[in-house]
Amino acid sequence: MTQTLLYIDPGTGSMLFSLAIGVATTLVFAVRALAVKLRFVLSGGKAQKISSNKIPYVIFSDHKRYWNVFKPVCDEFERHKIPLVYYTQSADDPALSEKYEFVKAEFIGEGNRGLVRMNMLNAGTVISTTPGLDVLQWRRSKTADRYIHIPHTVTDLSDYRMFGLDHYDAVLCTGQNQVDFIRKIEGLRPTIKRKDCVIVGSTYLDANLERARSLAPHLPSKDNPTVLVAPSWGMSSILNRFGEVLISSLLGSGLKVIVRPHPQSLASEKEMLETLETKFAGKEIEWNFDNDNLSVLNRADILITDFSGIIFDYALIFDRPLIYAETNFDTSPYDADWLDERMWTFRAAEKIGIKLEEKDFHKIGEIIRNAMASERMSEEREKVKKECWQNIGGAAKAIFEYATSAI
């Protein structure tokens, strides 16, 4: 006798889980409301002050890699002696080892387990760098007052998955490029509530700039340069589109090669990475999986990337040349698909980097050495910096002041 197994594809499964979470959350809040009414009746109809146990300030981090974004903010709360709860979905988040007095870090579980906790949160202000609020599994809690988004990149945010910021109350932007994008999207989707867009700067770039000053000076090698391949993730990324042929071309040109996959690739694209690692086993190639990227960026004479925000981490902190591959980027899953213009990331990359196309892979060594010798892009890097990274050195203070201001 044969058995027929029920198969549910990942997309359908995600929607079903969202529905289940929605039902469960509604029931929880209904029970809470009933309890309040019962207290009112049992007290003879007289209003009583009931403690809400509301947490004034919460940071939600879905991965430890965002600690470089949040640490300066946590430090600011600690300095002002203002209580803050830091919820993380990484059991080894560095926040859990910090010796704070007023900032309390807690691991709430990975994946859906942690999101269930967040969906029932009783809080005043929630700060997060996670897009997709109220889109699928992560829902706005009915007992949380406002949600603030802090970007973890200085791009214009059009490379967020569609509707990624629609349900936030505020976005604390790194520069004018992000404000411009958000206002365009709000104009195209009139049902969206107009959110606060305040330029505060970038916490992680501020911190990296300070740290970079303490690193050992890097001496570039024109004869045998170190090339860092650091892409984004997804089907349009370099490693998915050109991984094998690109790495082969670099190794064939006698270059030192470091490949740093996007952290999300470790979760979503394990098979692709394992195939590449097996293919180049025994070759002169270094695979870098460090949680923090500053050290490996400092070691690189030149960066090769795609649409990843690492373009700006590298160019704006280290003021060195880069090469980018546009990879026929598919905008359909992203908010960029709503815009009748080229993504800001690629327009900026054109100014501060050299475009690489697959037909030029055979002469990649020559392209790299020419890019390292060029001086024209230094002025362009300064112009792009003014667009996307403002209030340099003051981001943590500005975020703290906004988050603790009256709603």
pLDDT of residue 12: 44
Q: How far apart are CA 353 and CA 376, in angstroms?
A: 10
Reported confidence tier of residue 234, pLDDT bands at 50, 70, 90: confident
Three-class SS state of 147: strand
Mean per-residue pLDDT for 232-257?
A: 89
Q: How far apart are CA 40 and CA 283, in angstroms?
A: 73
Mean pLDDT is lowest, of 14-23, 286-295, 355-364, for 14-23
pLDDT of residue 48: 39
Task: Give the number of other Cβ atoms within 10 Å of residue 313's Cβ.
Answer: 22
Q: What is the pTM of this model?
A: 0.79
pLDDT > 60? residue 33: no
Between 345 and 403, name the one with better pLDDT: 403
Mean pLDDT is lowest, of 144-148, 215-219, 274-278, for 215-219
Burial 327-342 (b: 16+ CB within 10 A, else e): bebebeebbbeebeee
Ranked by mean pLDDT, which of 174-188, 285-299, 311-325, 366-380 comes out on top? 174-188
The candidate with the shortest Cα–Cα distance to 287, out of 260, 308, 305, is: 260
Mean pLDDT of the chain: 86
Mean per-residue pLDDT for 288-314?
A: 89
